[in-house]
Structure 1
Amino acid sequence: MQEKSSLAAYISSGSLVVIGKIGAWFNDLTLNEWAIVIGIIMATVTCAANIYFQRRQTRAIEKASQVDTIIITGRVK
């Protein structure tokens, strides 16, 4: 029992130190650095959303092709 409480104390204190360091780092950012951080986050979210929706579209097309349904129409020459 004592080992579990010691482990919990070490984990909680370590995580609070890490959170404090991250908080101090964010407080020291200038406006330009904030713009860079937000830009990186937005680019990552946009890329993840694009991958997600492209995979959904691909799965829908593959599923429709298995049951002979036309999803995307185009002129065949």
Structure 2
Amino acid sequence: MKGTKDFPQCGFSNTVVQILKSLNAQFETVNILDNDLVRQGLKEYSSWPTFPQLYIDGEFFGGCDITVGEPD
């Protein structure tokens, strides 16, 4: 995500953080703004061009739109 769970740095990242917190989910974040290689690597790994990217048990789930339940 852009930022951290304590300090999200975009609205989409904040939305996902708020959803996970409302579910009392335990989660960790990686600030992709800290490292261009990590950011590009995650885009390639997931074949998903935007952030945040949510992974559940190591599997890519989707971005903010999928997390909030918007149709494709």
Q: Give the TM-score range, shorter chain.
A: under 0.3
Q: Per chain length, whose mean CA-contact separation is higher, i.e. which structure has more relative contact order (CA < 8 Å, sep 6+)?
A: 2
Query: Which structure is higher in strand share?
Result: 2
Q: Which has the larger radius of gyration?
A: 1
Greater per-residue helix proportion: 1
